[in-house]
Amino acid sequence: MNHFQKIAAQLEANNLDAMLLTGEANRFYASGFHSAGTDGVALVTRKKAYYFTDSRYTEAAARWVQGAELREIGRGRGYAALIREAVAAHQIRRMGFEDAYMTVQDWERYREALPCDLVPATDLLWQLRMVKDDEELEAMVGAQRIAERALTDILEEIRPGVTEKEIAARLQYLMLHYGASDMSFDPIVVSGPNGSLPHGVPSEKTIQQGEFVTMDFGCIYHGYCSDMTRTVAVGFATEEMHRVYQTVLSAQLAGIAAARAGRTGREVDGAARAVIEAAGYGERFGHSFGHGVGVEIHEAPNASPMNDKPLPAGAVISAEPGIYLPGKMGVRIEDVILLTETGCRNITKAPKDLLVL
């Protein structure tokens, strides 16, 4: 899976002769090959693509990178030298670069070394990455199924006396066991009063009877992320716990019903937010309804009050409203949905009615 041709097809419309990809996420999106951090550079011109790397990755890159010429850097012949050769060969005058990813130090180094203009062009990649193709969707569904298998198993292990850290560690093991290459992010496992922390860090706190346990987790499969959150009760749930949970679930369902291509992120968020506000918890829902998911766990587009742009068909976003009551509890329920012209397709299959373990 690579997207060299898709990127090349957008260069002329963006008044670019080439696109330089140094960031890990966009480099993978272009080439289908993953290397960590800054260990690699992709260059896409209107007629040809290149992938530059060092000897640690050359053999592996040769197995994965298709549709691009593979070149190896060496002593005294670094990335800038190889890029400069391509600039001369293709008479590149305007080269796009990832202004949202590249450091100032790297920008200054390339600006001094390359005989062409460096043009900020992160948005070109973000626009392409918003719309998933069939191979990308297949990978994302695979990542989601792995996370759901881990959820099924972990529900058998949640009981009083088990710590948040133990549940988080087991989730990571289970996702790797079922085929993930890595985590989308460090799992969030919070219980009882810790549940009011939307991005709480798993602690040594033990789970108690009558508490909610919120688990937000996901994994990477074939380079693409899954993301899901489930909140369960242990032993029993109070009337207030039932009320908060059902409000969040109703809000999520309202947002999902409103989600479709052409709607703005603000409109989708507003459909869910209205339910929570009507129940009197508006001030306890501080984040947005959802964010884009793909190569990165947070990417465009967002279903937030700040996004007044139409959401595109083919975008995959999270659906994750929540209510957080400091010192008491928190509830978040999260699915991942694919936007279509007529609505959306929920690629998350895990049940979400309140489960009391």
What's the pTM? Answer: 0.95
Report the candidate in 226, 219, 232 with the shortest Cα–Cα distance to residue 183: 219
- pLDDT at residue 76, as a whole number: 83
Write down the mean pLDDT value for the chain: 97
pLDDT at 37: 79
- For the record, the structure tokens of 264 come out as 């703005």
Mind listing the domains of the chain with CATH numbers? 4-130 (3.40.350.10), 134-346 (3.90.230.10)
94, 13 Cβ separation under 8 angstroms: no
Which tokens is 88 given? Answer: 């001369």
Residue pair 160/232 in contact by the 8 Å Cβ criterion:
no
Residue 334: the pLDDT is: 98
> pLDDT (tens digit, 9 = 90+) per residue, 16-71?
999 999 999 999 999 999 998 788 999 999 999 999 999 999 999 999 999 999 99
pLDDT digits (tens, 9 = 90+) for 151-200: 999 999 999 999 999 999 999 999 999 999 999 999 999 999 999 999 99
